[in-house]
Structure 1
Amino acid sequence: MRYESLISREKLEHLLGQFSDLTIGVVGDLFLDRYLEIVPGVHELSVETQIEAYQVSTLRNAPGALGTVISNLAALNVGQIVPLTVLGDDGHGYDLRQQLSGLAVDTSFIVCDPHRLTPTYTKPLKQDAAGKWRELNRLDVRTRGPMSEETSRQICQRLKQVHTLADGLIVLDQVNEEDWGVVNGEVRRCLGQLFRSNPDKMIMIDSRQFLSRFDFGVLKGNGSEITRAAGLTSQSGQNANRAARKLSQRTGNTVYCTLGAEGMLVARAGQDDEKVPGYPSVGPVDTVGAGDSTTSGIVTSRLAGASEVEAAVVGNLVASVTVQQLETTGVADPAQVLSRWEQVSTQ
């Protein structure tokens, strides 16, 4: 495979140069990822319980879920990112806003609901005998129930404003329980109305469990998610093709099905499917957040003027950079993306 045949350097440079002119709305579940590094070799018992009290030396916060998409877009030098989500009126919400404050993010559309908890994944880390950090039991903080009608109403009201303001939207439906996340049934209906009012404005939808509920927009998921959304059971490569094609026919729009190291399948209604090969990675990889990197590369490129297939190429390229960043949710800036293109194009 001659990888330069997938996209030329000139086209890639042109696309990357357009990202700073974009305004992208991001809608969905925004989490705080909190990492607690436990001091190795220090043991202290709690006076009250006589159970060891772990001593934390370092605390790190990072935006998670929708925040991973935000971080990727910011690294790609997107001009303005406009999140629409729900946070609680609590310390975790404050810390999450602080993490966004250094990025090109307009937080004015975030809904604060004092009756909900800011979703937070607290991840204690402890070093093993070899000195490698290992994650202990994660502590999840989130409201286990649906949003109120008033909060849903506020989301839909602000969604119309963000849709008008932005060049395109990314929708991330992260929560597994139906109607417990930001993208509940009412918000889905609002999104559908907005899409039908302006079908030329891109809305990309990535839903972990409920992709089948969307009959509009550009759908994106991995092989398992796409196959399940199409009502097929087997996750073979052939069924992924069938599933992506079926969803594309349902929406009348492009479907992107990620296939890990194999690349991505692009299905378009009324056209032949196209498999876009992945860029090879040498050595160990960390695929956490790779899907969000892919999403960011696809959407920015499409909004900058790339074709559906060229956007898949850029999505694969961005992900091939981030998966090589171990034990962290990686991001890629334009210089890294271009450098990666040069690296693989000489192979």
Structure 2
Amino acid sequence: MWAISRRNFPNLKQKPAKAGTMKVLPIERLNEIFDRMSQLKIAVVGDVMLDRYLWGDADRISPEAPVPIVKLERDEVRIGGAANVADNLAVLGIVPRLISVIGNDSAGEAFLEHSRELDLPTDLVIAISERPTTVKTRVIARHQQVCRIDEEDARELSEDESDAIMSRFASIAGEVDAVIISDYGKGVVTKDIVQKIVEHCGNNGRWVTVDPKENHWEYYRGVDLIKPNHHETARATGISTATRVGLERAGRALLDMTGSVTALITTGERGMSLFQNGHSEVKHLETMAREVFDVTGAGDTVIAVATAALACGSSLIEAAIIANHAAGVVVAEVGTAAATREQISESMARETGRLE
């Protein structure tokens, strides 16, 4: 049975999808899961950042170097990283509890301001003076990214700072239905923090899911679901994921290597593949994307939507199907984005030929 129920909703009937046959859920089932989401609180622990976009036009090459000259037309700032995960949850009607650090600087103030505009609670976000807020600036011309500029300090948090993170987690641990660890490798996520969260949630029947960072694989032992992309999986295992056979070998090797229960591996234009320890069968889901403009933040959407569905009591394959449709929505937009219930429903309706 491809279902793990960490929290039981007595009125949510389990109807696991048949292997390899379903791209969608019955609309009644989807609405049932969506209705449950409004009851959820989910903690998001990880690295937050500001995503800055410089939009312009480029019609000539610089005489100083073989690079385009971009004439700036507008400047846009969005919250990213773990904050984008939290925003994806909020868009689905879930209460996110975001735990992270920002710098005591102008970028940190901008982060808080934009979070307030989205009605995201930031009472568990710590402002510290010893490190800057992470900022990623993307220059975009004619809907193509020209370059990216990163401002960051990726050192691990100090012991006192890590203790502060765990103190904030402890303050809300009893009220959340699941925990998402969003590891961008900027210092917030440590092995000690992950293992303490896994221990607590394992003792209390809560889901722990991870959007991983390379070189941190040993951190994630015991998590319920890990969501790497196929490139990360290939580099971690040394097994090419270019073919389905290779992907299946690499996915199983990743589960063995990390000790995770489940892996949901995104495979770009191919879609995603679902692996579970103790099951030889792998479920492959074709991409639902009709257009791809930007994959920025798509992983945030996948981990947010999949975790939310699982916390509602859905089966693993149901969670993957919903997340797959959500990813197809956000990659059609430039920059970080979130998929609404209506957009996910419309995506499924296009596959079934009906919209209810």
Q: Report the equivalent of 1:330.
A: 337
Q: Render the CA deviation track for 1:184-236: whole Å, top value 9, x for unaligned.
A: 233233234324433x210101112135212111111111223444x333224
The letter for the 2-side match of 1:301 is A
CA contact (8 A) 1:35 1:124 kept: yes
Provide the C-alpha distance between the structure 2 equivalents of 1:147 and 1:188, rounded to a whole number of angstroms: 13
Aligned counterpart in structure 2 of residue 289 of structure 1, from 285, 289, 297: 297
- How far the C-alpha of 1:97 sits from its partner, in A, is 0.9
Provide the C-alpha distance between the structure 2 equivalents of 1:38 and 1:7, rounded to a whole number of angstroms: 41
CA contact (8 A) 2:47 2:184 kept: yes
Provide the C-alpha distance between the structure 2 equivalents of 1:332 and 1:71, rounded to a whole number of angstroms: 10
- How far the C-alpha of 1:269 sits from its partner, in A, is 2.0
The letter for the 2-side match of 1:335 is E
Classify the secondary structure of the residue corresponding to 2:171: helix
**Does the alignment pair 1:95 with 2:110?**
yes
TM-score for the superposition, normalised by structure 2: 0.81
Q: Report the equivalent of 1:271.
A: 279
Q: Report the equivalent of 1:205.
A: 210
CA contact (8 A) 1:3 1:344 kept: no
CA contact (8 A) 2:52 2:78 kept: yes
- How far the C-alpha of 1:56 sits from its partner, in A, is 5.5
Gaps of 5+ in 1: 42-52
- How far the C-alpha of 1:173 sits from its partner, in A, is 0.9
TM-score for the superposition, normalised by structure 1: 0.83
Q: Report the equivalent of 1:23.
A: 41
Gaps of 5+ in 2: 1-18, 60-68
The letter for the 1-side match of 2:326 is V
Aligned counterpart in structure 2 of residue 66 of structure 1, from 64, 70, 82: 82
- How far the C-alpha of 1:124 sits from its partner, in A, is 4.0
Aligned residues, how many?
323
Identity %: 24
**Does the alignment pair 1:75 with 2:91?**
yes
Q: How big is the alpha-carbon RMSD for the aligned residues of Structure 1 and Structure 2? A: 2.8
Provide the C-alpha distance between the structure 1 equivalents of 2:147 and 2:277, rounded to a whole number of angstroms: 44
Provide the C-alpha distance between the structure 1 equivalents of 2:338 and 2:135, rounded to a whole number of angstroms: 21
Provide the C-alpha distance between the structure 1 equivalents of 2:122 and 2:46, rounded to a whole number of angstroms: 14
C-alpha spacing 1:88/1:10, structure 2 compared with 1 (3 Å): same
Of stretches 142-151 and 302-311 in structure 1, the one that deviates more from structure 2 is: 142-151
**Does the alignment pair 1:339 with 2:346?**
yes
Q: Report the equivalent of 1:108.
A: 123
CA contact (8 A) 1:276 1:313 kept: no
The letter for the 2-side match of 1:82 is R
Q: Render the CA deviation track for 1:224-279: whole Å, top value 9, x for unaligned.
A: 223444x3332243232123224445636222112223232221222233323224
CA contact (8 A) 1:245 1:273 kept: no
Map residues 1-347 of structure 1 onto 2, 5 A cutoff.
Answer: 6-37=24-55, 58-78=74-94, 80-125=95-140, 127=141, 132=142, 135-175=145-185, 180-198=186-204, 200-213=205-218, 214-217=220-223, 218-229=225-236, 231-236=237-242, 237-249=244-256, 251=259, 253-325=261-333, 327-346=334-353
Provide the C-alpha distance between the structure 1 equivalents of 2:144 and 2:280, rounded to a whole number of angstroms: 45
CA contact (8 A) 1:77 1:334 kept: no
- How far the C-alpha of 1:302 sits from its partner, in A, is 0.7
C-alpha spacing 1:83/1:342, structure 2 compared with 1 (3 Å): same
- How far the C-alpha of 1:75 sits from its partner, in A, is 2.0
CA contact (8 A) 1:195 1:216 kept: no
Of stretches 13-22 and 268-277 in structure 1, the one that deviates more from structure 2 is: 268-277
CA contact (8 A) 1:226 1:243 kept: yes
C-alpha spacing 1:228/1:124, structure 2 compared with 1 (3 Å): closer
C-alpha spacing 1:185/1:270, structure 2 compared with 1 (3 Å): closer
The letter for the 2-side match of 1:66 is A
C-alpha spacing 1:275/1:133, structure 2 compared with 1 (3 Å): closer
C-alpha spacing 1:6/1:247, structure 2 compared with 1 (3 Å): same
